[in-house]
């Protein structure tokens, strides 16, 4: 185990203390915090830097339920985080998919795949709290909350960082910088990495509600002309609703009375699940695709939303991000220098095909189910009907949603099982 080190820069600037790390992860959200925990487990000294406060100070703020695929489950098991989350996980055994106003629907079933669950719903704030607890417990890890990246200066063997917080400026150096700072990554901008964007003109309004006749362990995805609406089970009657709206209408949905909002949702899902009630607070998430045009730069690497921010219609964003984490851990394992160009190039090459497939899948789905062109409307119904009638097509869809097309990876194969 290597202790944290700090050094004075030179006699002429004797007051300047620089703390040295192997890796500085900028952004300790769900992807960055998971990576930081993994890097520390690999014996690297890690700084995890985020503008946010610790999760304990923001409990209940992120009301989303996140559908975790089996690839994510395996990584969280390997990092020793899964068992602590167990009481907050709801297995998904069925996904009912349909399109409002069109014939054709399909049901994806775990039993058809011979697995106990297609995925698990985890409350986002519980996952972040578990990650923060792991950040605090790891001896090689230093979390910096309420801290933003101020400046960044890459050199041949290290990157110098200036951090800014209420306490003032702090100086760090690291051999690898990880951009895990989300869709509007400042690290990505600093390295002048271009990002392709596509504004869906949609906003996801998220809320928790009760369903009168819940179908246990069942997620519901309903495609509507405004965008997809989903219900994810949280256990019992409680569900997470994701109601995608045209962005121009999102403000009105947030401001609507609970009764009016519930009536809108009821009209979209119909009465199959009985009356909706018990509406919690509502949060809006504008939906814009961001695709970084490269994944690595000298001594820097992009993961998660900083690399790809995708439409949440297929619940793939975090699952994709955690596959970034698993691959990066694989590529850095055993390297003497975590910023070595060969290791980073290997990461970029391994991640590219999964990024391509997953982004195209969710983007294609978003376009197929919202384009207001008559033949496309017929295509929606046909796609769902075909899924129901052609088991191989349905199986392929389920495999994709479960993250089974993830690249072979030590961290995902279970060879790093937590002790």
Which residues of the shown chain bind ligand FAD in the complex (CB under 6 A)?
26-27, 29-32, 49-52, 64, 66-67, 148-149, 180-182, 186, 204, 206, 242, 285, 304-305, 312, 315-319, 321
Which one, 133 or 386, has the nearer CB to ligand FAD?
133
**Which DSSP string corresponds to 208-274?**
EEEESS--TTEEEEEEETTEEEEEEEEETTEEEEEEEEEHHHHHHHHHS-HHHHHHHHHHHH-STT-
Cβ 67 to ligand FAD shortest distance, Å: 4
Name the residue nearer to ligand FAD (CB basis): 144 or 269.
144
Using a 10 angstrom Cβ sphere, with 0-12 exposed, 13-18 middle and 19 or more buried, the burial of residue 112 is: middle
Residue 69 CB, nearest approach to ligand FAD (Å): 7
- The minimum distance between CB 287 and ligand FAD, in angstroms, equals 7
Q: CB-wise, 149 or 209, nearer to ligand FAD?
A: 149
Output 102 or 200, the one with its CB closest to ligand FAD: 200
Residue 292 CA to residue 179 CA, distance in Å, equals 11
If one counts every other C-beta atom within 10 angstroms of the C-beta of residue 13, the result is 11
CB of 135 to ligand FAD, least distance (A): 12
To the nearest whole angstrom, how small is the minimum distance from the Cβ of residue 242 to ligand FAD?
5
Nearest CB to ligand FAD, comparing residues 70 and 350: 70
Beta strand 105-109 pairing with 94-99 = antiparallel
Q: Which is nearer to ligand FAD, 29 or 54 (CB)?
A: 29
Q: How far apart are CA 206 and CA 198, in angstroms?
A: 21
Q: How far is the CB of 138 from ligand FAD (least distance, A)?
A: 18
> 356 in helix, strand or coil?
helix
Helices (H), 138-198: 186-190
Identify the CA nearest to 354 among candidates 308, 315, 306, 300. 308
Phi (first) and psi of residue 374, to 5 degrees? -50, -50
């Amino acid at each position: 185990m290597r202790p944290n080190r700090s050094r004075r820069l030179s006699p002429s600037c004797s007051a300047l203390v620089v703390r040295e790390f192997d890796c500085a992860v900028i952004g300790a959200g769900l992807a960055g915090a998971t990576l930081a925990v993994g890097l520390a487990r690999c014996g690297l000294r890690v700084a995890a830097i985020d503008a946010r406060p610790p999760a304990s100070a923001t409990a209940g703020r992120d009301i989303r339920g996140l559908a975790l695929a089996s690839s994510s489950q395996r990584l969280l098991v390997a990092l020793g985080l899964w068992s602590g989350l167990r009481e907050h996980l709801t297995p998904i055994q069925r996904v009912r998919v349909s399109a409002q106003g069109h014939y054709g629907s399909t049901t994806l079933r775990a039993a058809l795949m011979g697995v106990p669950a297609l995925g698990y719903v985890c409350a986002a704030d519980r996952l972040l709290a578990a990650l923060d607890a792991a950040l605090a417990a790891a001896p090689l890890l230093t979390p910096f909350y309420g801290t933003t990246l101020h400046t960044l200066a890459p050199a041949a063997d290290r990157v110098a960082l200036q951090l800014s917080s209420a306490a003032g400026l702090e100086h760090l150096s690291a051999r690898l910088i990880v951009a895990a700072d989300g869709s509007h990554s400042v690290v990505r901008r600093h390295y002048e990495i271009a990002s392709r964007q596509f504004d869906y003109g949609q906003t996801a309004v998220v809320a928790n509600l009760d369903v009168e006749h819940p179908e246990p362990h069942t997620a519901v995805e309903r495609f509507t002309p405004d965008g997809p609406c989903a219900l994810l089970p949280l256990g019992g009657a409680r569900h997470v609703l994701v109601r995608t709206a045209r962005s121009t209408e999102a403000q009105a949905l947030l401001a609507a009375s609970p009764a009016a909002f519930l009536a809108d949702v009821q009209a979209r899902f119909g009465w199959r699940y009985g009356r909706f009630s018990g509406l919690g607070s509502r949060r809006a998430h504008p939906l814009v695709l961001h695709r970084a045009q490269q994944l690595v730069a000298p001594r820097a690497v992009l993961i998660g939303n900083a690399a790809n921010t995708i439409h949440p219609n297929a619940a793939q964003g975090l699952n994709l991000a955690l596959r970034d984490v698993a691959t990066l851990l694989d590529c850095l394992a055993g390297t003497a220098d975590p910023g070595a160009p060969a290791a980073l190039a290997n990461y970029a090459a391994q991640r590219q095909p999964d990024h391509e497939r997953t982004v195209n899948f969710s983007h294609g789905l978003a376009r197929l189910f919202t384009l207001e062109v008559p033949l496309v409307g017929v295509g929606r119904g046909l796609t769902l009907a075909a899924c129901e009638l052609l088991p191989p097509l349905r199986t392929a869809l389920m495999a994709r949603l479960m993250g089974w097309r993830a690249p072979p990876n030590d961290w995902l194969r279970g060879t790093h099982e937590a002790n």
